[in-house]
Structure 1
Amino acid sequence: MKISKNLIVLLLTLVFFFIVHSYTFREPEIYWYLYPFIILICVAISIVSMNQKDDMPIWKCFIFGLGYGVILYGIIRLLYILLNSINKDWIHSITKYITTFGPSNIWHYLILIFIVVVGEELFWRGFVQQRIKDWTSPFISIVISSLLFAGAYMVGGYFSYGMIIFVIGLIVGSLYEWKKSMPLIIVVHEVFVILFFLLIPFT
């Protein structure tokens, strides 16, 4: 009964996320209002469902998170260069997504750093990945949760950007299974988005 209840909650939450998230792609002008709302709902569900203890000291989360975040950015940067060298059309959806939905003012950056990044990690790694792991292996749970994370962008027509999200999901999901620290992967994600959108943007 407990497994069935967890499965129902997981499926309903994913259906809610995909439906509303898909709608945001059709209404770019409200994206930065609606997407944080989705994330906050998902965070509430995640916090109620999470039972993971974090044993890593905060100072280690910041130090290792900074390093892993830079490494993650480097890997994604290389993937971007590879896609560009193979077929320039493949990076079109990446450029289009960043241009259309990327942060463009201080308000967007504050939402991204304090709500979106934290919420995405709590939801996709802390909730979705862990619930899937209840019924399968850690490796498969990482792959499935990463595919779902990427699929949320692919259904909106941003396939190449979804590929990048998939790779990020694999790396961050694996790091979470290895270190068992939510603060660590939040710092990793924060460092990545600051580099990706602000300090060393791709476009």
Structure 2
Amino acid sequence: MALKAFQYGFTLLSALWLGGTGLVFGSVLLLTIAFSLSLGTGVQITQVQRLVLGLVTIQGIAFPAIAYAYIKLRPVIRSKLRELISYPPDTGTFTIGVSVPSFREAAIVVLGYASAMVGLVVVAVIITTLVSMFGIETATNQAAEIGMENPDVLLLLIPASFLLIGPGEELLFRGVVQGRIRDYFGPISGVAIASVIFAGIHYPALSGGSVTGKLVGVCALLIPSLILGATYEYTDNIVVPSLIHGAYNATLFTGLYVTVKFSGELSSAAGVLSNSGF
């Protein structure tokens, strides 16, 4: 019984550690490059440059690197744990399914994207209601905030959603974190717990607003997070949630660009869009 409890606890802690390590590793890379540029050339990078560099170092390098390291080191670590505490052996090789989506999987991408957008509408209604009823000061996603100040950056974030954000985040949080939790908690709990971790990891990316407002923003991410987790569990193809994630974010950035660029003032739509991105 004690060993069982340890295995469940260790699984949760290691899943949290994997997600957190990816974020910390990418942030350290970002700061190292920024500091090197400042020290070597005297160039101080702007907010926009920091955003772009962050996409490359965190989603493009750190997340895939941690996922790759986990897959490679998992057998070694589990072997050592078996020697120390009679840790159970792997029932099979840990893999992340990657393939060109079939026609059925393409249909799931479309359905998942549509469901995520319906979820966005539900979230918008809930947030608007909470704000009007309780006067909650909502927070803004930092990337969206920079985009509202520099609309042309949003045009860069649209393709980045498909090339960096979607693949990088899904590889680590769905492929590794969800897969790790699934080992002992099963598929349903794996999807649910990984979705909570994934939504929670976005808390530092929210700026302004109250603590309650930030928590509302994090909770708003649970609906699309659950959809992404469910589609990966169903298809075992990481490309499927990556495409849904990319399309979802690209839609938000497109909507935000249109709102900011062609509206005389930021409407409430911009607030909802800036609060709901990954």
| TM-score normalised by structure 1 residue count | 0.77
C-alpha spacing 1:167/1:94, structure 2 compared with 1 (3 Å): farther
For residue 66 of structure 2, the aligned residue among 22, 40, 45 is: 45
SS of the equivalent of 1:51 reads coil
Paired residues of 1:13 and 1:42 also in contact (CA < 8 A): no
SS of the equivalent of 1:137 reads helix
For residue 159 of structure 1, the aligned residue among 215, 218, 243 is: 215
Aligned to 1:32: 52
Tell me, yes or no, if structure 1 residue 143 matches structure 2 residue 143: no
Paired residues of 1:22 and 1:155 also in contact (CA < 8 A): no
For residue 77 of structure 1, the aligned residue among 117, 121, 133 is: 121
Deviation at 1:60, TM superposition (A): 3.1
Structure 1 spans left out of the alignment, 5+ residues: none
In 2, the alpha carbon distance for the partners of 1:91 and 1:73 equals 24
C-alpha spacing 1:8/1:159, structure 2 compared with 1 (3 Å): closer
Paired residues of 1:66 and 1:187 also in contact (CA < 8 A): no
Aligned to 1:124: 173
Tell me, yes or no, if structure 1 residue 133 matches structure 2 residue 182: yes
In 1, the alpha carbon distance for the partners of 2:26 and 2:138 equals 21
In 2, the alpha carbon distance for the partners of 1:123 and 1:187 equals 15
In 1, the alpha carbon distance for the partners of 2:164 and 2:197 equals 20
In 1, the alpha carbon distance for the partners of 2:27 and 2:65 equals 20
- The percent identity for this pair of structures is 16
Tell me, yes or no, if structure 1 residue 191 matches structure 2 residue 247: yes
> Which amino acid in 1 is paired with 2:20?
V
Deviation at 1:12, TM superposition (A): 4.5
> Which amino acid in 1 is paired with 2:108?
F
> Which amino acid in 1 is paired with 2:253?
F
Deviation at 1:8, TM superposition (A): 8.4
Paired residues of 2:19 and 2:173 also in contact (CA < 8 A): no
SS of the equivalent of 2:138 reads helix
Aligned to 1:17: 22
In 2, the alpha carbon distance for the partners of 1:76 and 1:91 equals 19
Structure index of larger Rg: 2
In 2, the alpha carbon distance for the partners of 1:174 and 1:141 equals 10
In 1, the alpha carbon distance for the partners of 2:164 and 2:108 equals 21
- Return the structure number with greater relative CO, CA threshold 8 A, min gap 6: 1
In 2, the alpha carbon distance for the partners of 1:114 and 1:91 equals 33
Aligned to 1:61: 105
SS of the equivalent of 2:144 reads helix
C-alpha spacing 1:19/1:90, structure 2 compared with 1 (3 Å): farther
Aligned to 1:100: 146
> Which amino acid in 1 is paired with 2:64?
V
Q: Alignment length, in residue pairs? A: 199
Give a deviation string over 1:6-33, Cα, whole Å, max 9, x none. 8887554333234467888xx9541331
SS of the equivalent of 1:181 reads coil
Aligned to 2:78: none
RMSD: 3.5
Deviation at 1:94, TM superposition (A): 4.2
Tell me, yes or no, if structure 1 residue 87 matches structure 2 residue 131: yes
In 1, the alpha carbon distance for the partners of 2:191 and 2:11 equals 18
Give a deviation string over 1:137-181, Cα, whole Å, max 9, x none. 222222221121111122455333211222221221122212322
C-alpha spacing 1:91/1:187, structure 2 compared with 1 (3 Å): farther
In 1, the alpha carbon distance for the partners of 2:233 and 2:64 equals 19
| TM-score normalised by structure 2 residue count | 0.59
